[in-house]
Structure 1
Amino acid sequence: MEISPVLLPIIGLMLALWTVTAMWLMIKASRDSQASAAHKKVARRLSRMVEEGPAIPLLVRVDGRIEAPDRFARWIGLDKVPEYLSELAGTDDRGLSEEQVEELSTLVRRTQKSAKPFKLALRPPGSRKSLALRGALADPAVSPSGAALIWVFDFTETDDELARLGEEAARARDDFGALVGLIEAAPMPMWFRGADMQLRLVNKAYVEAVGAKSADQVVAEQIELVEKVGGRSAAQVAQQSADRRQPIERILSATINNARRTIRVTDLPLVGEGIAGYAVDIEEMEEQAREFRAFREAQRSMLDQLSIGVAQFDAQHRMTFANQPFHRVFSLPPGVVNERTTFEQMLMVARENGRIPEVRDFPAWRKELGEWFQMDEPEEVAWPLPDSTHLRLVAQPLPDGGLVLIAEDQTEQLALSATRDTLLRTRTATFDSLFEALAVFAPDGHLELWNRGFPVAWGLEGEELDGHPQAEQLLEAISKQLADPKQISEIGQTIRSATLDRKNRRGRIALADGRTLDYAGVPLPDGNGLITVLDVTASQQAEEALRERNRALEEADAVMTRFLANMSYEFRTPLTSIGGFAELLSQGIAGDLSPQAKEYVQAITMSVGKLTAQVENVLDLSQSEAGLMPLRKSKLEMIPFIEQIVRKREDRIVEGGLTLDVKGNASNVIEADRQQLQRAIGHLLDNAIANTPRGGRILIDIAKRRGQNRIVISDNGQGMSQHELARALEGIRMSADGKGIERRQGLGIPLARQLVEAHGGALDIQSRKNAGTTATITLP
């Protein structure tokens, strides 16, 4: 079969056309496939964006079925999204409540019927989330059957923020109201200007200050509180403060309540608001400042007249004032105040002039003194200077951080005080060493001075006189010790006669304990009165004992009586007079004495003391021999008692180059007459000191054995032979004819033995030549 030549081109053309068509279809299919993949990718991305978006879509169909992501179920507390809208109500605080579902259903049905959108806010029970629902009729492209599309928003944070902002706004309104009330009630004028510098608001104090009727009148008439100053009005100054954006404060005078007052005016710019201002009345402050300046000038003028150096430093440690005595004390050059010299520089200048104490580390010492500025209490120090000057410094910190430094030269005062203390100690020692009991009464009747024997003589405790009682109180205590309390008036008359009448008066009185005292009142040159008391019991008892002796001893009794009488009245009275006159001479009653005359007076006083001691020894020895030794026993702690005896002889021990040791039990206590036992032990100790060469040793051993107290006084001195010891123990004896006294040796050892025996004890003395002496006192 032959093919027509015309048909071949047509077939070829059709094949070509089919090929082209097939290729186009293939290309189009590829493009559609890519477009479909792109659309799917976009759909997935959009779905993911919706899933991650802040809002969740909820589609509610006409039949009540719902469509929503699972995230919506988690928001309302469900495990999954239910199928119908009515199933959103859960149990056990899960899902929405019945009321919320009912309200949502009503709004959805209304939207489906009328296409009216709605808004709803709700909080699922048991959840902290706050949800906002915005519903509208769904687009037909979304759901062509008239479904409702609800967008659910989680505005929990926004709701909390709104609640917080609401609270802050309420608080701000309350604060603003309180601030307005505070400004209105403020006692100082306050105002506010707008951006045009016109008054817009003033408080009540402003209205009263300018004398207006109301705040509206002030604002309407623009009544200014402050007049023009230097050609500038108050509004112009406020404009200047606004331009600078800085507060302007000035002090000026203004008329307030029809009176000229000094005020401090402050204009305070408020950014974007205007200018606030207030005025503080400082008239009283200025008046106080003027008074303070006048007071300071008067004070500094007064300080310049003082003999005590005073300087003042400010909080920067700079000197602001120093009077002339301060310049003189520290040898400061002129101009230190004008040059504002610092505290440290002042110390440097004083150090160069030798007006501070010698210190090892001056920088550290100066730094330590710099701490005076931070102290809360005044600091007082003493500065001994190299030239023997003694300064007393008082550092008084000031409230403003400054310091007041007071310097007083006490060199002369300390010298006078030392001299006075020496005289007082000498007087006290003299009084205490006298045998008589002495007391000095002031003209007003109070007891000023007394020796140790005064309370003992009257049977009083020493503590009763420590308060320096009045004469009436002392006489009341003494009256209890008298045999006849009515005789106390005689002692009062003696005190009054010596102090007020300036007359001598004497008397004798008996005590309830059987003792008899002689007393006398002597007026002193300084207006005081001296009362001397002497215990004459022993002499009276001796006299009575002598009268009772038999005729064979009448002569001996007469001798003893005369001896005691002579010792009591003929020796003691002149000695007392000599001692009194010597004391008056030493006190300058007869005029100032030359140094040599003073030495003579001191020698007289010493001789009187020694002679008085000898008289006392002889008297006590005589009383002891007659068996009339009075004893007033009390409990004595042995160690302090012995130490007191040793202390009185400390100078002699030191001068003799001796060593003295005291051993014993501190708890050892005995009952004895303090005065008599002290004299007995003192005589034995004096004998040991006198007979022990330089470098020797004295030992006092106190012990208690078999119920008896033993006091052993031993030395390694010269010692005595048996013959010398026998003569020392004999002491004073009557002469062979019985008409005189034969003195064999000193009175100390015999008197000590008799005093010990008067206590019911015994004294045993053992001595060997050049081997020392041992005296043993045994007391019950």
Structure 2
Amino acid sequence: MADWIILAAISLVSGCFAVQWLLPRQTRRDDVFGLFSTTSLFDAVFLFDGDHLISHSDIALAGFEHVGSWQDLRRLLQRDFPTFPETPEKVRDQNVLVISAIDCTVEREVVCEWIDGIVRVRLHEPARIAPTGSSALSEPSRLAMEQAPYPVWLLDHNSQVQWCNAAYVTLVRRARGQDADLTAPLFPDASDAPSLGKSRVAVDVTGTNSKLWFDLTQIGQDDGRLCYATDINAIVEAETAQRKFVQTMTKTFAQLSIGLAIFDRNRQLALFNPALIDLTTLPPDFLSCRPNISSFFDRLRDQHMMPEPKNYRTWRRQMNDLLEAAEGGNYHETWSLPSGSVYSVSGRPHPDGAVAFLFEDITAEITLTRRFRSEMDLMQSILDKLADAIAVFADDGTLALTNYAYEKLWGSAQEIGFQTDTITDVTRHWQDHCVATPILGEIRNFVEMRDNRAEWTAEFRMRSGITLDCTVSPVHNGATIVRFAPVDILTKTAPMKQISA
């Protein structure tokens, strides 16, 4: 009996050794993968013989209960695991294949193993263990990519997203909702394979009219393209605000009758208004080509729209002085053109080194001023021919005009300063040359009056013994004319006003 027991024990041990000897040996085996893994009871496991499902674990994920073939499983996993192999042959070629989720925030991965003709697919949460060796070098890179503040994603050759970081997932859910498909490209230019490099693209936000702007950078890889997106919404908003401001200013400048030419820091024409074309007769196509400041003034000189210089070298030196003066805000000149027009040209500094030139046609003002001065000279000449001394007071009581006979009688206006004297100052000066009389006070009151004014005449005597008849006459706009004439040559036309002693 003991021999039989010993024989049975030897047979059992031999059988165990034979089983261990016949088991297939895997080239890659660790404490995580394999049929005898202790974690298999807690994962969803599927066994395939070719394309057909032959078994699965009791603890299966929701939605995977009706998987019957490899294509069924791939269809369910493709959204979260787009790199899941199309056929089991790829697993056979690589022996062990680990597939990460497209969303790096999802703590789950798929492990496919080839075990003696059987493909084992396991869905599990990867263990986070401290990396060692070469894996320690990739851990910081992985963390940097997953936790980058800007979207990063990988496209395959079919422009489908194979991997993305948390920022990209957040962006997709913000633009397309929480249930958006991460494999579909979010950026419109991402489907354009030749568009490698940097470009500016906009992402539409579902349900709104707003757009999100990014600088998209695409770098070619062997298995697709690696893409980076930088948020530039603040830059785009600033550019939009600046563009609207420039448009508003342009519309405002377009209504101005003053020609405006703004040169940027590179001394090229950056902005001009239609009035500049009308005033300078420069062609619009020339101005649209953004000429530099030298070409601009050279063209003005050729068009005879600036004073003709005596020689070109002096003129070029004047242009340099003009630019320096404009940068300091001190340039202002009046150009008398050969055509007879008169322009007021001024230069003003602008921020960031720009310079603005203003061209204003003041021909009408200059003509009016010249005409007014001519009329004033004519009127002065007429007054100087009169024998009577005449003084004209403005409505505010200041001395406006005198003639030659007045200056001869009372003294030179340049010496006394009559041009800025008031009626009070003038009557005091008269008092110094006359015998005391209340007539001067009456004249002062009359000049300062505004209503009930009528012409009147009075007589008083100067200290030199000359008797004068003074005629005070109101004129238009509150002005007053005071006329002095000796009694012996004066032809009286108005009754004498009685002055109480």
Q: Using structure 2 for the length normalisation, give the TM-score.
A: 0.47
Larger RCO, structures 1/2 (Cα 8 Å, 6+ apart) = 2
Larger radius of gyration: 1
* TM-score normalised by L of structure 1: 0.32
